[in-house]
């Protein structure tokens, strides 16, 4: 049996942490979203502040000049990550490609990207899926695990990891951006239909610091994999016994 597990969730929800925990538990490989080596991400956050300042000054149609660049950067890296993952039987992706389209839609709605940038991005995404047979045939995950967190939890985790360009103290315009992003994620979870979806309460379960919470979350995911026929009963029992 083989499986592809994909993580979803807002910034600071713990996708990378849970991916690492899952990979160790299942004895497989985790593939991570590029952040540390992403030269565009800090520019994007600068662009949010620049656009907000221009709109406040009366330039109501001001966009973030780095939105389209960031989205295509992520899309390029995501496809590379998917192709690498598809070379193995079992693997975990710490970010869903379906979230990318949501980010671009939200940034267009907020005025950070233009309509033509949005349409160009959608066409690029569709064409890339069609032109990559190995991805087109297997692009849907076997299980999507979404970590839902509140605004306060998100901010606490953003503060804890300490990236200056993500802090609302350094850029107050991020308050509206983050709150809007939470709403889009809530709607995304309600409409996602590409694969089975398992929602983890990231406020209630601290799967990083609390071992009992971690075991509970792992139980939920393994039970779902067994229910979907992605792991056998023997594998399920072995995983359960390993943590006792």
List binding-site positions for substrate.
Answer: 33, 45, 71, 95, 100, 166
Type and span of the H or E element at 125: helix 115-131
Based on the residue annotation, tell me whether 94 is a catalytic residue of this protein: yes
Q: Which helix (H) or strand (E) holds 8?
A: strand 3-9
Buried b (16+ CB within 10 A) or exposed e, 174-213: beebbeebbebbeebeeebeebbbbebebeebebeeeeeb
Choose, from 37, 94, 213, 219, the residue flagged as catalytic.
Answer: 94
User: 78: which residues sit within 8 A by CB, 6+ positions away?
Assistant: 33, 95, 97, 100
Please state, in angstroms and rounded to a whole number, the distance separating the CA atoms of residues 45 and 52: 11
Structure tokens at 29: 């490989």
Considering Cα of 155, then 179, then 94, then 169, what sign does the dihedral take?
negative
Known binding-site residues for ATP equal: 9-17, 157-161
Q: Any idea which residues carry the catalytic annotation?
A: 94
């Amino acid at each position: 049996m083989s499986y592809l597990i994909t993580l979803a969730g807002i910034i600071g929800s713990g996708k990378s942490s849970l991916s690492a925990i899952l990979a160790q538990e299942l004895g497989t490989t985790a593939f991570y979203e590029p952040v540390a080596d992403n030269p565009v991400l800090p520019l994007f956050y600068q662009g949010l502040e620049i656009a907000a300042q221009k709109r406040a000054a009366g330039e109501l149609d001001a966009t973030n000049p780095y939105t389209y660049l960031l989205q295509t950067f992520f899309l390029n890296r995501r496809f590379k990550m998917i192709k690498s993952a598809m070379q193995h039987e079992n693997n975990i992706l710490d970010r869903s490609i379906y979230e990318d389209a949501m980010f671009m839609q939200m940034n267009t709605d907020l005025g950070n990207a233009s309509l033509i940038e949005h349409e160009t991005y959608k066409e690029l995404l569709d064409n890339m899926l069609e032109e990559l047979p190995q991805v087109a045939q297997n692009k849907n995950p076997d299980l999507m695990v979404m970590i839902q967190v509140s605004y306060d939890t998100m901010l606490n985790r953003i503060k804890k990891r300490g990236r200056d360009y993500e802090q609302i103290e350094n850029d107050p315009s991020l308050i509206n951006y983050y709150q809007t992003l939470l709403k889009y994620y809530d709607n995304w979870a309600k409409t996602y239909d590409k694969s089975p979806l398992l929602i983890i309460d990231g406020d209630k379960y601290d799967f990083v610091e609390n071992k009992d919470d971690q075991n509970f979350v792992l139980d939920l995911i393994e039970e779902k994999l067994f229910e979907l026929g992605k792991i056998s009963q023997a594998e399920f029992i072995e995983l359960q016994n390993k943590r006792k």
